[in-house]
Structure 1
C-alpha cells in the first residue's frame, strides 16, 4: 500500500504521467469536462471535498510551475482569489483569463479532478514543472 504522496490511485497515476508543461484541472462540481479529457471525480456531497483541500493535496505531490484561474474569481469567490494570491510565494506563477478562455484551456488538460465544491469559479489549471 502506498504510504506517501497522493493516495487516490487515479490522481497518483495522472501526476506520475505528467511531463513538463502538461496540465491538470482541479474543478468545482459544475465545470464542464471537455470531451476526451479524463474526469477523476472525488466529489462526495455538495462541498465535500472542497476545492482548497484538493488543491493542497495535489500541490503537495506535484511539481507545479504555473496556475491559471478565471479572472471572475476576484469578484465572485474571494477565497479562491486569496488562494491564487498565495501561490507565487510557493514559486508558482499565477495567471488569470476570462472564464470562457479558461474553459477552452481545459480541453488541453490530461485530466479534470472534480471536487464537491459548489462555489463559483473554484477552478484552477495547474501546469507541471520539473523537479530538477
Structure 2
C-alpha cells in the first residue's frame, strides 16, 4: 500500500488532519469572493486558505486530487450545473470519489449557503466555470445523507422525528 501524500502547506495539512466525519472542505475557483463586499459574502466565521498564485495555479482539480490522496473523504458536493458547464470537471470529481458519492445541489442558493457551514474555504487560481467542489470527510461507515449535510437544523429535526431516513435514496 502506497503511503498517503504529505501536504506541504502547514495550515491545510493541519485542517485535513483534524477533519471529523461529516466536516466539509470547500475548494473554490478564483472567482469565489470571500470579502464582505462579494456578491455572496462568505461568513467571517469560515477560515479561508488562499492557495492561488497565478491564473490557473493551482487548479481546483490539482487541489481536489491532492486532498483526496492525503485525507479521508467519503463524498463530494457539486452544483447541478457542473455536468453541463464543466463536464470534464464533473467527470474528474466522479472518478475521485465514485459517481455514487457525488451529490448535486442548485447553485443558488443551496450550494452557496453550504459555504458557511464548511470547516475551511480553500481558494485556488482556477478560472473554470462551475469547478467549485465541497469534499465531505468520512471513513468506512454508512454515508451521511445529503439532507443532513445541507440542513442546519437536522439534529433538531431528528429529535422531533422529522429527519430523513438515512437509507432512503436521495431526491
> After TM superposition, is the score higher than 0.5?
yes
Q: Which residue number in structure 2 is paired with residue 125 of structure 1?
A: 134
1:97 equivalent in alignment to 2:98: no
1:82: Cα distance to partner?
1.1
The number of aligned residues is: 129
Unaligned stretches of 5+ in structure 2? Answer: 35-41, 142-171
- Greater shift, 107-116 or 30-39, is seen at 30-39
Q: How does 1:38-49 map to 2 (within 5 A)?
A: 38-49=47-58
1:92: Cα distance to partner?
6.9
Q: Which residue number in structure 1 is paired with residue 75 of structure 2?
A: 66
Q: TM-score, normalised by structure 2?
A: 0.70
- Greater relative contact order (Cα < 8 A, sep 6+): 1
Unaligned stretches of 5+ in structure 1? Answer: none
1:87: Cα distance to partner?
3.3
1:130: Cα distance to partner?
2.4
Q: Which residue number in structure 1 is paired with residue 162 of structure 2?
A: none
- Runs of 4+ in structure 1 over 4 Å off: none
Q: Which residue number in structure 1 is paired with residue 60 of structure 2?
A: 51
- In 2, are the aligned partners of 1:64 and 1:129 still within 8 Å (CA)? yes
Q: Which residue number in structure 1 is paired with residue 10 of structure 2?
A: 9
1:10: Cα distance to partner?
1.1
- 3-state DSSP class of the match of 2:70? coil
* Cα RMSD, aligned residues only: 2.0
CA distance in 2, matches of 1:76, 1:62: 28
Rate the CA distance shift 1:13–1:88 in 2: closer, same or farther, 3 A: closer
Q: Which residue number in structure 2 is paired with residue 83 of structure 1?
A: 92
